[in-house]
């Protein structure tokens, strides 16, 4: 059993709706995708979704190796990256390769990844996340009601630019979710738009009206002093980590008690890297929450984490060329028994997407908005489809 | 695949030599242990070997948590076992029981995968840096020299850990003997000492500094009480050698003060106390702090399976290169200073049923 080759196929998707946050409240509907196949001499390939190129820079470290030795290969790749660091494009490549190796390892054992990783059951609590700053009040209600109808009882709202409108929309989200729970779980996310003290002022005003489970990225990703300051001054937990890419990036946040919840995903140095983060967090009594993913594929990993609370479900329509083996039931992502991540690629649809790329408004990722970290620039007239609270 | 029950056999066997530490200087010649055989409906059996004290907890844990469960879900089952007994805080044997069941579950998981444990864990090149640990306070000078000469000569072990703490002059003399014996394997032996927590922090500083005038020590283990993080930090700040902490820790949480206060320079993990699942978690945390990991001795040296998946693995302890007990064999061999796990599925422990029945002190099967 040997790794013999790879291929990467980039493509462009048009989602079913706009997604947006404080940095780009008008939203985008275009999403670049990419699929990596790691090929073996036994006609099985491992896939990973969502990363770009750079694979050639690391492929030499795994070529000819047995993919079942993935944890040791992770160490080897990390050592190869020693001088330049496990950062940036190199980190994305390591993440993609490690993720595909785990897919292979589970496929070779003919097990779903959750079982290969040692989870007792393929079941992960979900929360709804609209990436919804670009949605009108009506669309906002419709999204969270649709999620509540699947039994999902918690939601995370994009906030940060308009306190009164955010308060109104938190009420709308709570009402929509109230059919799933008498006390829906509420979270907010300002995507690093605030300074730490702006965050404290803003969040404490929200907390006069709503009980929040967590506030996400209330300060810059690396600002362990600022994040700790926010955590000490608000009731809600502080969540962060999605924009950091390895255990060594996240270490200062854990060691300095800066965050209460760590957002994890495979972009943090793969399945191996995110499990390292979850394990270190668990030893410190911290929870982790899995990021959203195409076809919720990362639930396969979340199921095996000892300290996982709930996983983000966005469902904006990113599964154009995918078939998957999971469903949402009674508020949980329920994983099937298909091997690996349980994802199959419809290569005909992929080729069609590549041949005729769709077009639409904007393209992920979002840039940083004017004023971020210093002063708030509210949405200009016509920038968002909702009414200002001012 | 489902767990159907467990067979626990209690055993007593002679040790390969008289073993003693600062808190038991006269030493002991026999050991009692439990052999666990976790049974499944697939005909596979998961093996773990541990101390006799765990017996009281095993049957109930298996009945309450494991019977009917798929052993491949071992990480979740480890958590369930801990949760099921969360009210029993700091029960040493209870945690050991959970650890040993976790070892047996990983054995089953890798047997179901038809792979050696190291490969199921994702490891490669199962060649782990090993050192000799004489547990030697009760040995005469001649016996001490002979044992380290044999481990260096026959197994190529280049490091040694001496039990110290009660008599500074003897400790210095015996360190010289261990050093000389290890030169059979290398010109630069790796020297470690273990004071078995018999020193206060200031005693640890005084004793270690005196030793360091003559010997370069890699680490000091048991320098003070294991929970005394301010004391151990004080020791670490005052000596050259690393302070090694963690032997016998049964939960990830026990490591937390040492991580947070940097009172350990080398993290020691004991799979017989914390299980494989717990060991992997602690090793990842140690990696986050850039702290090297060393593994406490395990029956049959099965800890060798874990070495290649731990990003900051440093070394593992070998008390017996070949098991002293006659009722089991191991697929891990010690060669030229390395512990090398073989390719047999699972952890490679094989129980000799006939030898077991012949020598069992008491046997009990429960469902």
Q: Give tens-digit pLDDT for B121-149.
A: 999 977 999 999 999 999 999 999 999 99
Q: Which residues of B touch A79 (CB under 8 A)?
A: none
Q: Measured between CB atoms, does B288 come within 8 Å of chain A? A: yes
Q: Which residues of A touch B264 (CB under 8 A)?
A: none
Q: What is the pLDDT of residues B154-165, one digit of tens each?
A: 999 999 999 999
Taking CA atoms, A338 is separated from A64, A111, A304, A360, in Å, by: 26, 7, 16, 34
Length of chain B, in residues: 367
Residue that is written with structure tokens 């506030």 in the block: A215
Q: Measured between CB atoms, does B124 come within 8 Å of chain A? A: yes
User: How many angstroms separate the CA atoms of A202 and A166, rounded?
Assistant: 10
From B208, B209, B247, select the one nearest B92 (Cα to Cα): B247
Q: Measured between CB atoms, does B212 come within 8 Å of chain A? A: no
Spans of chain A, pLDDT less than 50: none
In this prediction, residue A50 carries a pLDDT of 87
A196-204 long-range Cβ contacts below 8 angstroms, 24+ apart? A196/A223, A196/A225, A196/A226, A196/A227, A196/A229, A196/A230, A197/A229, A198/A373, A198/A376, A199/A230, A199/A234, A200/A229, A200/A230, A200/A233, A200/A234, A202/A159, A202/A160, A202/A163, A203/A230, A203/A234, A203/A236, A204/A233, A204/A234
Q: Measured between CB atoms, does A120 come within 8 Å of chain B? A: yes
Question: Helix (H, G, I), strand (E, B), or coil: what is residue B225?
Answer: coil
In this prediction, residue A115 carries a pLDDT of 97
In this prediction, residue B88 carries a pLDDT of 66
Question: Helix (H, G, I), strand (E, B), or coil: what is residue A266?
Answer: coil
pLDDT at B364 > cutoff 60: no
Cβ(A263)–Cβ(A239) below 8 Å: yes
Q: What is the pLDDT of residues A157-174, one digit of tens each?
A: 999 999 999 999 999 999
| Helix or strand run (H / E) with residue A133 | none
User: How many angstroms separate the CA atoms of B290 and A191, rounded?
Assistant: 30
Say if the Cβ atoms of B284 and A117 lie within 8 Å: no
Q: Measured between CB atoms, does B102 come within 8 Å of chain A? A: no
CA A31 to chain centre: 14
Say if the Cβ atoms of A69 and B287 lie within 8 Å: no
Q: Measured between CB atoms, does A272 come within 8 Å of chain B? A: yes
In this prediction, residue B356 carries a pLDDT of 83
Q: Tell me how many degrees the CA angle A110-A111-A115 measures, rounded to the nearest 5.
A: 160
Best residue in B3, B269, B284 for a mutation probing chain A (most A CBs within 10 Å):
B284
Say if the Cβ atoms of B288 and A250 lie within 8 Å: yes
Q: Which residues of B touch A74 (CB under 8 A)?
A: 122, 311
- Both tokens of B238, joined, read 């005052």
Q: Please, what is the average pLDDT of chain B?
A: 94
Q: Which residues of A touch B255 (CB under 8 A)?
A: 283
Q: What is the pLDDT of residues B96-107, one digit of tens each?
A: 999 999 999 999
User: How many angstroms separate the CA atoms of B254 and B251, rounded?
Assistant: 6
Could you tell me where the beta strands, DSSP code E, fall in chain B? 3-21, 24-40, 45-51, 127-133, 159-163, 190-194, 217-221, 242-245, 266-269, 293-295, 313-318, 328-329, 332-335, 338-341, 350-351, 362-366
pTM above the 0.80 mark? yes
In this structure, what are the phi and psi dihedrals at residue A127, rounded to the nearest 5 degrees?
A: -130, 155
Closest residue on chain B to A253 (Cα): B288
Q: Give residues 22 to 51 of A whose Cβ lies within 8 Å of B.
A: none
Say if the Cβ atoms of A276 and B288 lie within 8 Å: yes
Q: What is the ipTM of this complex?
A: 0.87
Residue that is written with structure tokens 């999605």 in the block: A242
User: How many angstroms separate the CA atoms of A121 and B256, rounded?
Assistant: 28
* Helices H / strands E in chain A, number of each: 12, 15
Q: How far is B238 from chain A (nearest CA, A)?
A: 23
Say if the Cβ atoms of B77 and A120 lie within 8 Å: yes
Q: Which residues of A touch B309 (CB under 8 A)?
A: 71-72
User: How many angstroms separate the CA atoms of B214 and B219, rounded?
Assistant: 15
Say if the Cβ atoms of B122 and A115 lie within 8 Å: no
Q: How far is B162 from chain A (nearest CA, A)?
A: 31
Least CB–CB distance from B76: residue in A120, A276, A284: A120
Least CB–CB distance from B255: residue in A117, A283, A285: A283
User: How many angstroms separate the CA atoms of B71 and B84, rounded?
Assistant: 17
| Helix or strand run (H / E) with residue A182 | none
Taking CA atoms, A19 is separated from A361, A378, B31, in Å, by: 10, 18, 65
pLDDT at B363 > cutoff 50: no
Say if the Cβ atoms of B75 and A65 lie within 8 Å: no
Q: How far is B260 from chain A (nearest CA, A)?
A: 7
Q: Which residues of B touch A73 (CB under 8 A)?
A: 122, 124
Say if the Cβ atoms of A280 and B285 lie within 8 Å: yes
Q: What is the pLDDT of residues B68-100, one digit of tens each?
A: 999 999 999 999 999 988 776 658 889 999 999
Q: How far is A87 from chain B (nearest CA, A)?
A: 16
């Amino acid at each position: 059993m040997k790794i013999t080759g790879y291929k990467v196929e980039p493509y462009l998707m048009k989602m079913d709706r706009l997604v947006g946050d404080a940095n780009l409240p008008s939203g985008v509907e275009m999403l670049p995708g990419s699929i990596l196949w790691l090929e073996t001499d036994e006609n099985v390939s491992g896939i990973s979704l969502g990363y770009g190129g750079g694979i050639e820079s690391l492929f030499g470290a795994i070529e000819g190796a047995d993919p079942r030795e993935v944890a040791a290969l992770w160490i080897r790749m990390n050592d190869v990256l020693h001088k330049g660091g496990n950062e940036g494009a190199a980190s994305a490549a390591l993440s993609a390769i490690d993720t595909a190796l785990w897919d292979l390892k589970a496929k070779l054992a003919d097990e779903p990844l959750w079982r290969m990783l040692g989870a007792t059951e393929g079941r992960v609590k979900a929360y709804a996340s609209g990436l919804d700053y670009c949605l009108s009040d009506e669309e906002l209600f419709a999204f969270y009601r649709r999620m509540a109808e699947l039994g999902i009882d918690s939601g995370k709202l994009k906030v940060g630019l308009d306190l009164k409108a955010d308060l109104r929309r938190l009420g709308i989200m709570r009402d929509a979710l109230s059919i799933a729970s008498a006390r829906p779980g509420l979270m907010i996310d300002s995507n690093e738009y605030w300074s730490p003290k702006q965050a404290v002022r803003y969040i404490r005003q929200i907390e006069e009206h709503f009980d929040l489970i967590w506030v996400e990225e209330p300060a810059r990703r690396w600002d362990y002093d600022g994040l700790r300051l926010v955590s000490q001054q608000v009731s809600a937990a502080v969540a962060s980590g999605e924009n950091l890419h390895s255990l060594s990036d996240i270490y200062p946040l854990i060691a300095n008690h800066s965050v209460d919840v760590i957002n994890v995903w495979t972009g943090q140095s793969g399945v191996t890297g995110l499990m390292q983060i979850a394990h270190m967090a668990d030893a410190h009594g911290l929870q982790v929450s899995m990021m959203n993913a195409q076809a919720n594929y990362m639930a396969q990993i979340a199921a095996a984490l000892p300290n996982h609370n709930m996983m983000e479900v966005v469902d904006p329509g990113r599964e154009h060329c995918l078939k998957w083996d999971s469903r949402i039931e009674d508020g949980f992502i329920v994983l099937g028994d298909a091997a690996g991540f349980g994802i199959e690629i419809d290569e005909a649809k992929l080729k069609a997407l590549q041949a005729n790329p769709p077009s639409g408004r904007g393209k992920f990722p979002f840039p940083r908005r004017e004023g971020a970290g210093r002063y708030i620039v509210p949405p200009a007239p016509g920038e968002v489809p909702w009414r200002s609270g001012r | 695949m489902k767990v159907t029950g467990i067979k626990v056999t209690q055993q007593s066997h002679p040790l390969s030599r008289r073993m003693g530490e600062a808190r038991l200087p006269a030493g002991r010649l026999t050991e009692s242990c439990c052999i666990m055989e976790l049974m499944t409906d697939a005909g596979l059996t998961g093996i773990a070997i541990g101390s006799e004290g765990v017996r009281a907890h095993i049957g109930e844990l298996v009945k309450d948590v494991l019977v009917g469960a798929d052993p491949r879900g071992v990480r979740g089952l480890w958590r369930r076992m801990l949760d099921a007994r969360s009210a029993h805080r700091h029960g040493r044997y209870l945690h050991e029981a959970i650890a040993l069941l976790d070892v047996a579950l990983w054995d089953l998981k890798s047997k179901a995968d038809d792979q050696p444990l190291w490969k199921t864990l994702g490891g490669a090149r199962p060649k782990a840096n090993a050192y000799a640990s004489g547990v030697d306070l009760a040995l005469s000078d001649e016996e001490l020299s002979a044992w380290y000469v044999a481990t260096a000569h026959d197994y190529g072990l280049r490091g040694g850990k001496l039990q110290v703490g009660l008599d500074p002059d003897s400790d210095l003399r015996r360190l010289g003997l261990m050093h000389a014996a290890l030169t059979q394997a290398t010109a630069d032996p790796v020297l470690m000492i273990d004071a078995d927590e018999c020193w206060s922090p200031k005693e640890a500083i005084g004793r270690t500094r005196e030793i360091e005038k003559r010997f370069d020590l890699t680490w000091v283990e048991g320098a003070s009480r294991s929970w005394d993080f301010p004391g151990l930090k004080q020791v670490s700040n005052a000596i050259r050698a690393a302070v090694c902490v963690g032997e016998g820790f049964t939960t990830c949480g026990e490591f937390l003060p040492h991580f947070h206060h940097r009172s350990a320079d080398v993290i020691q993990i004991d799979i017989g106390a914390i299980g494989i699942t717990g060991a992997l978690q602690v090793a990842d945390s140690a990696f986050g702090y850039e702290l090297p990991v060393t593994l406490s001795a395990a029956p049959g040296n099965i800890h060798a399976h874990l070495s290649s998946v731990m990003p900051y693995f440093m070394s593992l302890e070998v008390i017996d290169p070949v098991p002293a007990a006659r009722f089991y064999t191991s697929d891990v061999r010690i060669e030229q200073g390395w512990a090398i796990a073989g390719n047999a599925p699972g952890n490679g422990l094989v129980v000799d049923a006939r030898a077991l029945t012949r020598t069992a002190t008491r046997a009990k099967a429960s469902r």
